[in-house]
Amino acid sequence: MQIAQSKTSASPWRLLPLQQLIPWIVPAGLIFVWQVLSQLGLLSTRILPAPTAIVQAAIQLTLSGELIANVGISLYRALVGFLIGGSIGFGLGLLNGISPIAERFLDSTVQMIRNIPHLALIPLVILWFGIGDPARLFLVALGVFFPIYINTFHGIRSLDPNLLEMGEVYGLRPRELFWTIILPGALPSILVGLRYALGIMWVTLIVAETIAANSGIGYMAMNAREFMQTDVVVLSILMYALLGKLADSIVRVLEHWWLPWHPSQGI
Amino acid sequence: MMTQIEYQGMSIHSVKYENGARLKIQNLSKAFGDFQVLKDINLEVSPGEFVTVVGKSGCGKSTLLRLLGGLDQPTQGQIYQNGQVLQGLNRDARVMFQDSRLLPWRRVLDNVSLGLKHQAQQQGQWALDQVGLGDRPQQWIMQLSGGQRQRVALARALVSQPRLLLLDEPLGALDALTRIGMQNLIETLWQEQRFTALLVTHDVEEAVCLGDRVIVIEEGNITLNLPITLPRPRDTASVPFAELKVQILDRILKRQRPPVSEPAYTAPLFAT
């Protein structure tokens, strides 16, 4: 234990700065080559704009407020869709995980719907909701629902039944059993589901925004394509990547807070 | 270790002698489907007595313990605890299992004070001090060795001052040295707190070392009920100890031996 602790706490400090830089050498090199090729005219701007052009586009769109407005609306759609789908998935996962009757009643239905790729529903969803925000929120919520549901459900079901028996022997009431054993025991699995769900959230939003939208990052990209502004297209793609990375980092922080006991946290 | 009557201003830990539960097991049977695990068991245990149960795996000894803890319900017969029929979970009993069954997401102290409503932190710390882990209340379970985990489990079992402690092969997974240390610890705490103890084990030496009485269960029947009168702490290397051990082992393994001329310690034998 002590060896492992000193290893994890010492390495980031002692090995600075060279070791920390190594992972960045290849990406930095690629960007450099890309820039050189663009400036020499070997890489047409129609295919890929120079990195500096993308930075310029970013500055321009930020100053005009367009970038922030579009990122804001995309974030809003992602978040609302996620909250709706995630909370339904979490609630249903808890219910079916705890109650075998509810599981028998609902689980096979959920599994059947899960086998439909949710993006295949786009034509139907457009017929139902039109091309406004409700259609996009519906798709995001649907996509997010399944990973959260399945991982919550399995997190509870794969709990060690011996721990639950122990809890009963030690006089825990059902409510206490839930808060001290069931939920903390299922939490690692729930967070895995959260990670998957965030990935699906962005993918769904990208597709939904490129098909029919008049705002958002996807709209920004599709609109730029009409005018052959490859720099804006690439910028939009980078924005998605950045937001995806941000979401992933948030889950990592949550894991750090909520699972300090977990082997993945290096104790 | 001293008996602690006052601990950080608490008097609740004053040790009540004759605190242990009195058990009377009457015509107890347990069947799982068609399979009879326990057949018409009769047994009485005095308050504060330490009874050890040995037998081959699958003989029903763990089932007896689960029935006493109220984790399973008997098919026939009753268990009387202090004169009252035991129904449902036994609130006066605490069980220590072979696997420690600690919650990895709670720190050591929070595991020990699980289910306590009042003064949980102080009582948990008291119990941790008793098992010699008072200096690491804030560690995670993952950071402890197997022996330390069982000591935390013992502290958790003892923190509520149970009248009956049920030990289901708690030392089975430990190495020999750690096991000896744990046996001494259990014996010391039992002598201080005078709860009734029932230890299920397949280690005959452990059974003789700790028990006021050793009970052998074979195919669901009690076939040997042997009081051990050796003074404590017991010397596992002494001749009487070895003879008792051999007597029990012979019983379990059904070995025949030429009769020993004048054994040094003649233990009374009640076969039922």
Cis peptide before B233 (omega within 30 of 0): yes
- C-alpha distances (whole Å) from A136 to each of A115, A139, A186, A212 are 20, 5, 30, 9
The token duo for A233 is 């297209």
The secondary structure of residue B106, as a DSSP letter, is S
Higher pLDDT, A267 or B68: B68
Given its phi and psi angles, is residue B9 left (phi above 0), alpha (psi -120 to 50 degrees) or beta? Answer: left
Residue B61 has pLDDT above 50, yes or no: yes
CA B10 to chain centre: 27
Ranges of H-type helices in chain B: 61-68, 108-112, 120-130, 146-158, 176-193, 204-210, 239-253
**B168 and B230 within one domain:** yes
Read off the pLDDT of residues B201-245 as tens digits, 9 standing for 90 and up.
Answer: 989 999 999 999 999 999 899 999 999 999 988 998 999 999 999
- Provide, rounded to the nearest whole percent, the portion of chain B with pLDDT above 70: 88
**B8 and B104 within one domain:** no
- Provide, rounded to the nearest whole percent, the portion of chain A with pLDDT above 70: 94
Total domains in the fold of chain B: 2
- To the nearest whole Å, the CA of A256 is away from the closest chain B CA by 13
Domain limits at B271?
Answer: 1-92+164-272
In a domain, A194, yes or no: yes
Q: How many CB atoms lie within 10 A of CB B238?
A: 13
Read off the pLDDT of residues A188-209 as tens digits, 9 standing for 90 and up.
Answer: 999 999 999 999 999 999 898 8
**B68 and B180 within one domain:** yes
- To the nearest whole Å, the CA of B97 is away from the closest chain A CA by 9
Tell me what ipTM this predicted complex has: 0.80
In three-state secondary structure terms, B264 is coil
**B117 and B230 within one domain:** no
Can you give the CATH number for the domain in which B179 is found?
3.40.50.300
In a domain, A18, yes or no: no
pLDDT band for A15, please (50, 70, 90 cuts): low
- To the nearest whole Å, the CA of B168 is away from the closest chain A CA by 13
pLDDT at res. B45: 94
In a domain, A132, yes or no: yes
**B146 and B184 within one domain:** no
pLDDT at res. B266: 55
**B60 and B13 within one domain:** yes
The token duo for A106 is 């609902």
Read off the pLDDT of residues A132-147 as tens digits, 9 standing for 90 and up.
Answer: 889 999 999 999 999 9
In three-state secondary structure terms, B55 is coil
Total domains in the fold of chain A: 1
Instruction: Select from B109, B136, B161 the last residue of a domain.
Output: B161
Contact B53, B200 (CB under 8 A): yes
Can you give the CATH number for the domain in which A221 is found?
1.10.3720.10
In a domain, A47, yes or no: no
In a domain, A49, yes or no: no
In a domain, A213, yes or no: yes
Which of B269, B159, B150, B135 lies closest to B215 in space, CA to CA?
Answer: B269
In a domain, A239, yes or no: yes
In three-state secondary structure terms, B270 is strand
Cβ-nearest to B143 among A162, A180, A267:
A267
Best mutation target among B95, B105, B141 (most A Cβ atoms within 10 Å) is B105
Read off the pLDDT of residues B97-137 as tens digits, 9 standing for 90 and up.
Answer: 989 999 999 999 999 999 888 888 999 999 999 999 999 99
Rounded to an integer, what distance in angstroms lies between the CA atom of residue A87 and that of residue A84? 6
In a domain, A6, yes or no: no
pLDDT at res. A18: 77
Domain limits at A177?
Answer: 57-265
**B252 and B148 within one domain:** no
Read off the pLDDT of residues A220-260 as tens digits, 9 standing for 90 and up.
Answer: 999 999 998 999 999 999 999 999 999 999 999 999 999 99
**B35 and B144 within one domain:** no
Rounded to an integer, what distance in angstroms lies between the CA atom of residue B153 and that of residue B159? 10
